[in-house]
Structure 1
């Protein structure tokens, strides 16, 4: 039989899951459930003689306020609005449009060349913005009309765009990786380095698939006609379009990797660099600056609103003995340590259908992190594996987040079934990447070990 505190923990988790489906904002659900169960647990302990574990008096509310204050005053949190501003400003800077034109001129003459160009732009956007929704929407608006005009298969084009946009999860500087590092007290620099090779590897797998598929079935991705011949001028112009975003990426990541700047300081460099790129392309104005600043404020407020609710939820759940309950539940599974990790990843995969990465990172990750350490695994390796799994769930029908982003801006001729069909091969590549990282830890740990020993 379950003890009283275990029943309360299960009721708290179950209430949260059920209330998610009401459509009520997640931040308020988290905060409301926390308040309700903290009051209920204290009353049960004091008036019903129930064993509610650690949560026995009203001091829990003071602890919640103190924990929220500690969370909000962390220096690393300053990096979030800076990286959000950087991504939104790059979206308005014209860099992606210029890359698209030049990559089409260079690669569009080959079967699948335009698809390769979109993936390369997706990699650059991922390393520049780290925002999945923005990347998917921007890539869709830029490339889908061009690919359809070039007689690309609607399903093939949709799969390329949706998968390329989700690379923002893995390729640093990723906002998700920053939050995950904060939740498990990991070095952001270590996590960025650990995610770099798997993220780039995934991009290379996408490119290889597009090239092979277009070679085996040319009708999927025919070449573009009436392109100018490849000359030195075309190559130079393409390099000139790549150099600004590449320089920005190197400035941000390089300053972190070589210890020149902290991630927070590097985020300021990125925000300034994106603003300079917009000015160089003639896209910077007071209207653009005001709009980007407004969207940055709204996005940051949304993120921190969920932070407040998730922090309260985590404090109350742990005070009820939630950590011990989850750890006992997972370690009691009759599987090897690797099998338990797979169970955790499967839970994260399912959660990705209903919750955004932010809620999963703030709620689930801190609960399973101690179990991962207890099982003897490296946390940096696990977090990268966890992020890859979330990326897979964002692509998986019927409710993958990236699919909704894409459908919202796709041309009318692209149907939902086209999107579902198009992402299937890329989901298989995602599963391959998860498998490689699961069985070969050096893919994640080699670069941090080389840099930091």
Structure 2
């Protein structure tokens, strides 16, 4: 399988990265540091052992050109704009109003409060896309309320963690922007392709909650003091839903109908979120500074990872890591679909120890040539990959949604309870991946309708 001794260096580089993740050192600097370290090892080996692995300082200096190309990419301008949109939507307080009104509407049903979390989570996903903000907000609003009404603590935590991660899949999603850039497909195609799978997952969550509440009424009881549904209640829900829904239509509609590029639409979203916050009198100068500061922090984190991942990938390729992966996958006797299954399995396992950004920036560029050679539909694969990566947010020990949940959960909720609650939703995620795999049109139908085959 290994045709070049330098490929052992590629394996050592990747294994070192996975092991050093557990030190807690910032991942961006870890990747960049390993790239420098293994370049130095290669140079020293050439100087003193007469063994040259194909990587020297001249080769590694190419990283400067590659980083410039990344930073000069017009598509990536959408990242800070979508981040700003999400943070500003969080600032506007729309979710609090939705929680109050939807609780009244669904509160009389068994599992109704959990269903409320799913509905709000889907709306937040399509209007914010910031996982940390979504999970924290849903946890603060929903978990104490569900516990107050005698909901099972693990179910309450599980639905919040799972629903909060939908923002990474349902467009506009910063993950889809990154993925489109890495595999060179249209952002609009990925947005359209991920729409139905994202909504499908939300629907699967709701079906599970209703079924679980029916089988175990004590785990998600209906409140005894619930108000009867009235026309006024429905009107209030519609009024609370219209602002985020209008923003979603403005952003995604402008992309889907060809009025604006994703980059231009991100500007529309940022402006729309700011106007909503102003209209609701929830934005001050101090608040604007906070939004800008949080946007800068998130964007800086992502682009620092770009720098580290670019250096890491370059050195990995220099050692023949891309050829090793390509040869390994092409040698599998399973055909194109079998290769996709193997890739998804590896991605799922990597999600236990790596963040979605590292997996996207390191793994996708290495896989793309193989997938093109196997004539795999890249939009379909990217959506499959995205649904699989969403699971990385809820898989221990690096599931960030679990950390966010634990950070704001009531004192009586321990880590074991959170882990127990997320297990059924992990299974639902895998069911979602299986459905998209078995029925590709779930991901490809909407882009085909919009743009043709």
TM-score range (shorter-chain normalised) is over 0.9
Structure 1 gap ranges (5+): none
Unpaired stretches in structure 2, ≥5 consecutive residues: none
433-442 or 4-13: which moved more?
4-13
Whether 2:383 is the aligned partner of 1:409: answer no
1:398/1:420 contact within 8 Å kept: no
CA displacement, residues 260-288 of structure 1 (integer Å, 9 cap, x when unaligned): 11111111111111111111222111111
Residue 80 of structure 2 corresponds to 81
Query: Residues 47-86 of structure 1 correspond to what in structure 2 (within 5 A)?
Result: 49-50=50-51, 52-53=53-54, 55=55, 58-86=57-85
Aligned to 2:346: 347
Partner of 1:158: 157
Q: Give 3-state SS (helix, strand or coil) of 1:162's partner.
A: helix
User: Distance in 1 between the 2:141 and 2:156 partners?
Assistant: 12
Deviation of 1:58 after TM superposition, in Å, equals 4.0
State which drifts further: 186-195 or 407-416: 407-416
Q: Which residue does 1:433 correspond to in 2?
A: 432
Alignment-derived partner of residue 15 in structure 2: 14
Instruction: Measure, in 2, the Cα distance between the counterparts of 1:208 and 1:301.
Output: 38
Q: 1:383 to 1:4 in 2, by over 3 A?
A: same
Q: Residue 306 of structure 1 contacts residue 359 of structure 1 at CA under 8 Å; is this kept in 2? A: yes
**In structure 2, what is the equivalent of residue 25 of structure 1?**
26
Taking the aligned partners of 1:9 and 1:62, their CA distance within structure 2 comes to 18
State the Cα RMSD in Å. 1.7
Q: Please report how far the alpha carbon of residue 347 of structure 1 lies from its aligned counterpart in structure 2 after TM superposition.
A: 1.5
The change in CA–CA distance for 1:410 and 1:329 in structure 2 (over 3 A counts) is same
Q: Partner of 2:287: helix, strand, or coil?
A: helix
Quote the residue 2:374 is aligned against: 375
* 1:106-125 paired onto structure 2 within 5 Å: 106-125=105-124
8 A Cα contact 2:18 2:353, kept in partner: no
Match of 1:328 in 2: 327
Query: Do the aligned residues in 2 keep the contact of 1:112 with 1:223 (CA within 8 Å)?
Result: yes
Aligned mates of 2:356, 2:399 — CA distance in 1: 11
Q: Is the 8 A contact 1:248 1:273 kept in 2?
A: yes
Shift of 1:2: 4.9
Q: TM-score, normalised by structure 2?
A: 0.95
Quickly say closer, same or farther: Cα 1:366–1:93, change in 2 above 3 A. Answer: same
Secondary structure of residue in 1 paired with 2:260: coil
**Deviation, structure 1 residue 302:** 0.9
In structure 2, the residue matched to 1:133 is: 132
Change (3 A) 1:399 1:32: closer
Segments of 4+ moved more than 6 angstroms? none
CA distance in 2, matches of 1:276, 1:46: 62
Alpha-carbon distance in 2 for matches of 1:415, 1:159:
13
> Could you say what secondary structure the match of 1:313 adopts?
helix
CA deviation after TM superposition for structure 1 residue 319, in Å: 2.7
Where 1:110 maps in the other structure, the secondary structure is coil
Task: After TM superposition, give the deviation of residue 234 of structure 1 in Å.
Answer: 1.3
Q: State the distance in 1 between where 2:5 and 2:50 align.
A: 10
